[in-house]
Structure 1
Amino acid sequence: MEPRHVTIDEVRPPWDGHGDHIRFPIARLRYTKTTGMWSLYWRDRNLKFHAYNIAPTPTVKKLLDHVADSGDPIFFGQ
């Protein structure tokens, strides 16, 4: 079975300027084949994803725009 989700990571340079960039999952988009809809999920401190309160949509643009522009600290903190 093919995965039906895409994880969105925040990528930061190492704090000391040495080594690899740090990847931190902040959100996930999940596709439901039976409905043809994408849903948005947020990640908690225990690394578990939970449904975010936004309506599913047939395209991911609305969800990506919401993550980027909503200002909700659940995604990027404040």
Structure 2
Amino acid sequence: MTNKIIDINESTIKNCIESLRPESIEIRKQIDIGYSYDSKNVILFEIRPDWSNSKEKKQIEFAKIRYYKSRKEWNLYWMRASGKWEIYEPFPESTYLEKIVEIIKEDKHSCFFG
């Protein structure tokens, strides 16, 4: 029997992603939400068919959450049209990942979901 360490942060992100994904399997074929996680960086992205080849899928990043161990806080970034990450204002940092996730879901300034 192997012991597996449960990462509470990844669990929080996984729950966030599940709440953002379309319910319908048919819609998920056209647009879905995914993430990558490496203990200090989380990238959220849309998964869509490529416009020039519908059999290929593209991952379009829209949010980045980064943990700064020295400050013990999470910062939130959004992807500008230029392809560069920019700190999300007015609430860019928190010691609680759940608060950052709620800001993404709320999307008051239409930075994440248009």
Establish whether TM, by shorter chain, passes 0.5. yes
Q: Distance in 2 between matches of 1:33 and 1:27?
A: 20
Long gaps (5+) in structure 2: 1-37
Counterpart of 1:51 in structure 2 is 87
Q: Of 63, 70, 93, which residue of structure 2 is paired with 1:27?
A: 63
Name the Cα RMSD after superposition.
Answer: 2.4
Q: Distance in 2 between matches of 1:72 and 1:21?
A: 27
Is 1:62 matched with 2:99?
yes
| Deviation per residue, 1:25-60 (Å, 9 max, x gap) | 001001111111001011111211111111411221
Alignment check: 8 A CA contact 2:78 2:112 kept: yes
Q: Offset of 1:6 from its aligned partner?
A: 1.2
Q: Offset of 1:18 from its aligned partner?
A: 3.4
Counterpart of 1:12 in structure 2 is 48
Aligned length: 76
Q: Offset of 1:17 from its aligned partner?
A: 8.7
Long gaps (5+) in structure 1: none
Q: Offset of 1:21 from its aligned partner?
A: 2.7
Q: Distance in 1 between matches of 2:83 and 2:112?
A: 13
Q: Distance in 2 between matches of 1:37 and 1:20?
A: 37
In structure 1, give the amino acid aligned to 2:40. Answer: R
Moved more, 14-23 or 40-49: 14-23
- Of Structure 1 and Structure 2, the greater helix share is in 2
Percent sequence identity over aligned pairs:
25
